Chain A
Amino acid sequence: MTLWLTLLGMGLVTYAIRAVPLLALDRRPMPPRLRQALRFVPPAVLSAIVFPEMLWPGGRFDLSLANDRLLAGLLAIAVAWFSKNVLLTIGLGLLTLWLLQAL
């Protein structure tokens, strides 16, 4: 039950974000500072997920060369930077992780 209410809540807030400006319910122009802040939501949120995935693998802090996910993630960052291709980033990152785990 709680799970379904959570899903419903996620759906409602997401729909509200998409619908309210489209319906022009709020006719004031978006404050410039808010508009500016929204631009930084994707890099901030997504990095806040990526960094711990690389540095806290399995719930344990690990900043060392023995950390396979850190190395695979760093390689993926380089691939993403040069290729600008999401699927290639995922493919090479995962392949690297598998190779490191097999070593």
Chain B
Amino acid sequence: MHPHAQFLAGVRSELPIALGVIPFGLIYGVLALGAGLPADAAQAMSSVVFAGSSQFIGQQMIGAGAPPLLVVVTAFVVNLRHALYSTSIEPYVKHLPVRWKLTLAYLLTDEAYATTIVNYQAPGDVTHKHWFFLGAGLTLWSVWQASTAAGVLFGAQVPAAWALDFTLALTFIGLVVPALKDRAGLAAAVSAGLVAVAAYTLPLKLGLLLAAFTGIGVGVAVESAARDRRLASRDRG
């Protein structure tokens, strides 16, 4: 397929996902204003950071007066998973000039990765497939900026009684629970949650990082133990 066709195919495959992202952009805009961020900063975060979960957490921490360094470190931890996407895309973009790689890296979100990796893994010449990536990435980017703007514009009119701040927790429940496919993931989630509750009164929102690292450690330990058991039983058999 030619660059033009690849670009349009990327746009088309991203559109349904991008439409699903609109409520989150709206909610983010509303929450960021509610947390006390100025409208321009709330909007800027969507283009400077461009990573939903870390923006949700970031606006909450900034609103709670957490120290800047801790907000940045938390964003780093929350977004670490993108290193996995980036690593898995790298073999397909080896042939591209650096300016392409720098652009595509900026557009590498969960949602753009989801469609792009499928396209890369499908049969066919990879020469022009970066245009698909660009189409998918720009589609999501545009929708995210526009829905944030809508949330920022109307956010001031949302009454506190609507309890929209709870949508943060509900969103994350919707993302995490269906992804809990094995015992290790469940152990990571539950242990992190319990530590977060126990450490809630720690200063500087440090409980969040403490809980995250506990959960990651527990997940790794449970998964490694399960693998050791499998290997041991295979050796015996």
A residues near B (Cβ < 8 Å) are 2-11, 13-15, 17-24, 30, 33, 35-56, 61, 69, 72-73, 76-77, 80-81, 84-90, 93-94, 97-98, 101
Contact A7 B41 (CB under 8 A): yes
A2 to B197, CA, bound (A): 29
B3 interface residue per 8 A CB criterion:
no
- Residues of A within 8 Å of B53, CB to CB, are 42, 45-46
Q: A13-B72, A19-B102, A94-B163 known; A55 and B197 CB under 8 Å?
A: yes
Can you name 7 A-B pairs with beta carbons within 8 Å? A17-B86, A38-B83, A48-B195, A49-B168, A72-B166, A73-B173, A101-B163
Q: Which residue on A lies nearest to B102, using beta carbons?
A: A19
Contact B57 A49 (CB under 8 A): yes
Q: Which of A17, A33, A47, A97 has the most chain B CB atoms closer than 10 A to its own CB? A: A47
Contact A89 B174 (CB under 8 A): yes
- Residues of B within 8 Å of A93, CB to CB, are 166-167, 170, 173
Contact A53 B169 (CB under 8 A): yes
Count of B interface residues, CB-CB < 8 Å: 89
Chain A: interface secondary structure? helix
Contact B223 A10 (CB under 8 A): no
Contact B101 A86 (CB under 8 A): no
Of the candidates A13, A33, A35, A90, which one forms a contact with B170 in the assembled complex, judged by CB atoms under 8 Å apart? A90
Interface residues in B188-230 (C-beta closer than 8 Å to A): 188-197, 200, 207-208, 211-216, 219-220, 223-224
- Residues of B within 8 Å of A44, CB to CB, are 188-189, 191-192, 211-216, 219
B184 interface residue per 8 A CB criterion:
yes
4 tightest CB-CB pairs across the interface, nearest first? A44-B215, A40-B219, A51-B193, A86-B174
Of the candidates A14, A36, A97, which one forms a contact with B54 in the assembled complex, judged by CB atoms under 8 Å apart? A14
Contact B105 A15 (CB under 8 A): yes
- Residues of B within 8 Å of A24, CB to CB, are 90, 94
B154 interface residue per 8 A CB criterion:
no
Q: Return B144 CB to nearest CB of chain A, in Å.
A: 14
